[in-house]
Chain A
Amino acid sequence: MNTRAQPVAVYRRIGARWLGGGGSVLALAVLLGPYIALGVAVASGHYGEGHGVRQAFPYSGRQLLLLAYSLLFSGAVAGGALLLGVGCALKLRSMPRLGSIFLAALPVLIAVPVYLHGLAWTACLASVAGGLPLRGWWGSGWVEVMALLPLATGIALVGLRAVDREQVEAASLHQSDFRVFRRIELPLVMPMLLAGFGLLFLISLLDYNIPSLFGVNVYAMEIFTGYSLDGNPTAAVVTALPLIVAAAAVMMLGLARARLAASTPLFRRASVYRRECWPVWLRIAQWIALALLLAQAVVPSAGMLVMTGAARAWAQAMMSARIEIGTTAAVAGMVLLLGLPLALLAAGPLSRADGAGKVWWALLCLPFAMPAPLTGIGAIHLSAFGSRLPFDTGPFLPVLVNLARFVPVAAFACYAWQRRVDPGLLEAARLYQRTPLRGLLDVRLPLYLPGLLLAGVLLLTLTAGELGATLLVAQPGAPTLMIRLYNLLHYGASRDVAALCLTLMAGAGIAGALALWGIKARPRFGGMANEG
């Protein structure tokens, strides 16, 4: 044994550990920086001494009742979307090619802002013979369930695909498919579904646009009524606190369960699915769910195509929004470039089973639960610290707020993929790598690539659709596409709005297609079996 090489390897390992730890701390600083800066600004009296707290606390009976209704509503929306999503996923699983196409098209389906789904469904149902009015809780619930259905289906499909088919096939020799699904598959996929429920619940809980469109009051709106009056975020934070706690708790419970989710390593994954024999009612339910998913794919996109009209109108709208498209592309590109390494670093400690791992989960859940405008305000305060720098920190802010908001999503996507990688390969790389860097570049990154590509598509799509925080930090003279889109919406230029939405969808489609190509092409340089 080489006696000199051993200490060097130890030092390298310690160095790599420190590097990894330092990187994770850096990721955390980026994620939580805006909120820490906001806390410092509030504590230092930027918004007056304690006025906001007195204004918002204690919570009134009306507010608590509104919170209870909002929690119930979001629970029902998330549950409904997930139930339909499972139905769609079961159907799509029996059609693997269609399932893969759906997963590739998922970014396109989630690229359209939820608010526009609401407008599209309202217009669609109003134009049906006799007119079906969408109003109140039911209208709001319908639009939210439909808008979340593609995401719910994606989560359920990924969860079902991760279940070890060998266990299912073995059980199905003795029991009916439905019983096997209920007794074996569902418990295995349940942690993933709970994590999905948490995510959908949170999206619904923090959204006030759709309820507002249908004249429904939700707690998320409560945060902004006081805020819009005096611009004091202290009261907004205090008002938002129950919502943040509820959302973070659901996210924690849901995502923590995801650690227990079935995750068949790729080398054991079956590539051929046997067509299950379901009871009639379940077959009908699956077809209904799939029809609704198709309707959700068709209504907004067809509505927008009809509204846009000729390709010339689309070109004109694109031309007039070229600055906004350029800005959005630049911001999203930077978020992608900086966000992926940060996501990879943030994903590392998620696999730790000790107390530090749990704290890490909680810290990553926090940005999820924060109302978007507070992220923007926090970023402004953070930039005030950099006002003495010789360069303008302003252009960094749209990138920073999107990193803070969406790197946790990317980190969870990376983590989910990392769990599926054959640990034997990683162990072999660790033993035989010349340096940790070479091990990372030659083995780990190619293995993690599909997860990174998925995280990248998520970062691009979510950044392109962000408004609440970006509006507060957008560079003068460089608005983003969403700012223009909502501005045009207020003006009533529905044709331009539709054209820009199609542009967003096209962008998301290209990102999804490139990611798919990247995954398919990976064996050429990764030297691995193609697991599709």
Chain B
Amino acid sequence: MHLPAFLIFALLGCGLLVAGCRKSASREVVVYTSVDQVYAEPILRSFEQESGIRTRAVYDVEATKTTGLATRLVAEKKAPRADVFWNNEFANTLLLRRQGMLAPYRSPAAEDLPGQYRDAGNYWAGMGGRARVLLVNTEKLKPADYPASMNDLLSTKWPGASVGMANPLFGTTATHAAALYATMGREKARNFFSKVKARGVRTVDGNSVVRDQVASGQLAWGVTDTDDALGAVERGAPVAIVVPDQQLAGAFVIPGTVAMIAGAPHPREAKELVDYLLAKETEDELIAAGGCQFSLRGKAAPPQWLKKPLKPLTVELTDVQEQMPRAMEELREIFSR
């Protein structure tokens, strides 16, 4: 009695699915991006309108802890589906470069980028940067008591439980930790993090959780990224941003990166999208939207919320990437207990 109805539904479903499975003949480009959807989507829509190329995006999610898109790209190595990898940091891009996952492309739009933000072999180029900053709850601390340095994570001036950072085994906090390994040296960096752990500084789920807990007063201050920090400021939370170590080594700036995938199914369209993303105008658009805060082009003016130009931590991105395995191994021993 119900067989015909069931068969009709099954055939309809399969028909719809197969219709969706047709290999597209129109011009399109597939981009994998870890830039938040709310920032990336308008830029990709603008590209679609200007170029007439249909853009299909896959977005990443911080909560999965697996750096999903890089993992996916590695798994898809034999049959790539992505054309462009637009990453909001650099560590995974450099990892993919090392694993032979990227294709070289010298984009004319990247010509005005400083050398440290371009791969020597043209496998990737930088696009906008975020800095690691200290976010302070202004109801919990007076300006005189604001922290000013990453070293303040070790200061007894603030109880350990009132200070927070994201788990240093994941995301930009992991990259920041590797940068400290590269600049401080292995011994000093390991001691630094051992003391952070011993002091009871709270390690939470992610930079957005640091932001939320500082904003709600559960933490007096914490280390986070500029995009998260500015989000709290824009929503009117009682917070202030402190750029750390401006009298010392400088604040760590994490450049976003754009790369073309080796064996990309749509190479021509991929190049057009790479050119579009690396253009100065697109970087400005992303900064204006809040997806990143710093232009990687040297002559750019500092953002309005920053009163004077930021002093960046001087470190080679390749050094940071090389330090990652050792830093993670040791940090796992320290923090994952």
A135-B99 Cα distance, complex, nearest whole Å: 40
Contact partners of A467 in chain B: CB under 8 A: 61, 63-64
Interface residues of A in 367-405 (CB under 8 A from B): 373, 376-377, 380-381, 383-384, 387, 390-396, 399
Which one of B72-80, B183-191, B277-285 is at the interface? B72-80
CB distance from A483 to the nearest CB of B (A): 6
| Contact present for B205 and A228 (CB under 8 Å) | no
Chain A: which residue is nearest B213 at the CB level? A122
> Which listed residue, A41, A471, A491, touches B231 by the CB 8 Å rule?
A491
A445-B2 Cα distance, complex, nearest whole Å: 9
| Contact present for B63 and A490 (CB under 8 Å) | yes
| Contact present for A492 and B235 (CB under 8 Å) | yes
Q: Is B119 an interface residue (CB 8 A)?
A: no
Task: Please report the total number of B residues contacting A with Cβ < 8 Å.
Answer: 74
Q: Is A337 an interface residue (CB 8 A)?
A: yes
> Which listed residue, A228, A229, A337, A445, touches B9 by the CB 8 Å rule?
A337
CB distance from B133 to the nearest CB of A (A): 16
Which one of A141-149, A457-465, A472-480 is at the interface? A472-480
| Contact present for B205 and A213 (CB under 8 Å) | yes
Q: Is A468 an interface residue (CB 8 A)?
A: yes
CB distance from B204 to the nearest CB of A (A): 6
| Contact present for B70 and A468 (CB under 8 Å) | no
Contact partners of A229 in chain B: CB under 8 A: 324-325, 328
| Contact present for B170 and A474 (CB under 8 Å) | no
Contact partners of B325 in chain A: CB under 8 A: 229-230
| Contact present for B71 and A394 (CB under 8 Å) | no
CB distance from B224 to the nearest CB of A (A): 11
A484-B36 Cα distance, complex, nearest whole Å: 10
Q: Is A222 an interface residue (CB 8 A)?
A: yes
A229-B335 Cα distance, complex, nearest whole Å: 16
Q: Is B195 an interface residue (CB 8 A)?
A: no
Contact partners of A383 in chain B: CB under 8 A: 79
| Contact present for B13 and A337 (CB under 8 Å) | yes
| Contact present for A493 and B38 (CB under 8 Å) | yes
Contact partners of B167 in chain A: CB under 8 A: 212
| Contact present for B2 and A225 (CB under 8 Å) | no
CB distance from B185 to the nearest CB of A (A): 21
| Contact present for A224 and B65 (CB under 8 Å) | yes
Chain B: which residue is nearest A468 at the CB level? B64
| Contact present for B231 and A486 (CB under 8 Å) | no
The 8 A CB mask of B203-247 against A (1 = contact, 0 = none) is 111101101100010100000000010011001000000000000
A330-B16 Cα distance, complex, nearest whole Å: 9
| Contact present for A208 and B65 (CB under 8 Å) | yes
Chain A: which residue is nearest B212 at the CB level? A492
The 8 A CB mask of A488-530 against B (1 = contact, 0 = none) is 1111110000000000000000000000000000000100000
Contact partners of A231 in chain B: CB under 8 A: 67, 70-71, 73-75, 95, 99
> Which listed residue, B61, B81, B211, B333, touches A471 by the CB 8 Å rule?
B61
The 8 A CB mask of B2-28 against A (1 = contact, 0 = none) is 110000011001001110111100000
Q: Is B332 an interface residue (CB 8 A)?
A: yes
Q: Is A217 an interface residue (CB 8 A)?
A: yes
Of listed A46, A215, A226, A233, residue having the most chain B CB within 10 A:
A215
CB distance from B250 to the nearest CB of A (A): 26
| Contact present for A377 and B324 (CB under 8 Å) | no
Interface residues of B in 4-61 (CB under 8 A from A): 9-10, 13, 16-18, 20-23, 30-32, 36-38, 55-61
Contact partners of A483 in chain B: CB under 8 A: 59, 61
Q: Is B202 an interface residue (CB 8 A)?
A: yes
| Contact present for A472 and B212 (CB under 8 Å) | no
A467-B66 Cα distance, complex, nearest whole Å: 12
Interface residues of A in 14-58 (CB under 8 A from B): 41, 46-47
Q: Is A309 an interface residue (CB 8 A)?
A: no
Q: Is B62 an interface residue (CB 8 A)?
A: yes
Q: Is B300 an interface residue (CB 8 A)?
A: no
| Contact present for B58 and A334 (CB under 8 Å) | no
A474-B76 Cα distance, complex, nearest whole Å: 13
Q: Is B1 an interface residue (CB 8 A)?
A: yes
> Which listed residue, A222, A232, A330, A396, touches B336 by the CB 8 Å rule?
A222
| Contact present for B61 and A492 (CB under 8 Å) | no
CB within 8 Å for A46 and B30 given contacts A115-B63, A126-B216, A441-B1: no
| Contact present for B169 and A225 (CB under 8 Å) | yes
CB distance from B4 to the nearest CB of A (A): 10
> Which listed residue, A65, A230, A396, touches B17 by the CB 8 Å rule?
A396
> Which listed residue, A334, A393, A442, A486, touches B63 by the CB 8 Å rule?
A486
Q: Is A133 an interface residue (CB 8 A)?
A: yes
A391-B57 Cα distance, complex, nearest whole Å: 20
A432-B9 Cα distance, complex, nearest whole Å: 29
Contact partners of B228 in chain A: CB under 8 A: 492
Interface residues of A in 214-261 (CB under 8 A from B): 215, 217, 221-222, 224-233
| Contact present for B56 and A373 (CB under 8 Å) | no
Interface residues of B in 172-209 (CB under 8 A from A): 174, 202-206, 208-209
Q: Is A203 an interface residue (CB 8 A)?
A: no
Contact partners of A209 in chain B: CB under 8 A: 63, 205
| Contact present for A472 and B20 (CB under 8 Å) | no
Q: Is B303 an interface residue (CB 8 A)?
A: no
| Contact present for B36 and A491 (CB under 8 Å) | yes
CB within 8 Å for A373 and B66 given contacts A231-B74, A493-B38: yes
A459-B40 Cα distance, complex, nearest whole Å: 32
CB within 8 Å for A377 and B56 given contacts A66-B336, A445-B2, A492-B231: no
Q: Is B337 an interface residue (CB 8 A)?
A: yes
Chain B: which residue is nearest A441 at the CB level? B3
| Contact present for A490 and B62 (CB under 8 Å) | yes
CB within 8 Å for A490 and B71 given contacts A222-B336, A483-B59, A483-B61: no
A224-B71 Cα distance, complex, nearest whole Å: 11
Q: Is B115 an interface residue (CB 8 A)?
A: no
CB distance from A507 to the nearest CB of B (A): 18
Q: Is B302 an interface residue (CB 8 A)?
A: no
Contact partners of B37 in chain A: CB under 8 A: 479, 484, 487-488, 491
Closest 8 CB pairs of A and B: A477-B56, A476-B56, A231-B74, A387-B79, A380-B75, A486-B61, A231-B71, A391-B21
20 additional contacts, CB 8 Å, given A471-B60, A476-B32? A62-B333, A209-B63, A222-B332, A224-B66, A225-B169, A225-B170, A231-B70, A330-B16, A391-B18, A391-B23, A395-B17, A467-B61, A468-B66, A471-B68, A472-B71, A477-B57, A483-B61, A490-B36, A492-B231, A525-B1
Residues of B whose CB lies within 8 Å of any CB of A are 1-3, 9-10, 13, 16-18, 20-23, 30-32, 36-38, 55-68, 70-79, 81-82, 95, 99, 167, 169-170, 174, 202-206, 208-209, 211-212, 216, 218, 228, 231-232, 235, 324-325, 328, 332-333, 335-337
* 10 residue pairs bridging A and B, Cβ less than 8 Å apart: A65-B337, A222-B332, A229-B328, A330-B16, A384-B79, A387-B78, A467-B63, A486-B63, A491-B231, A525-B1
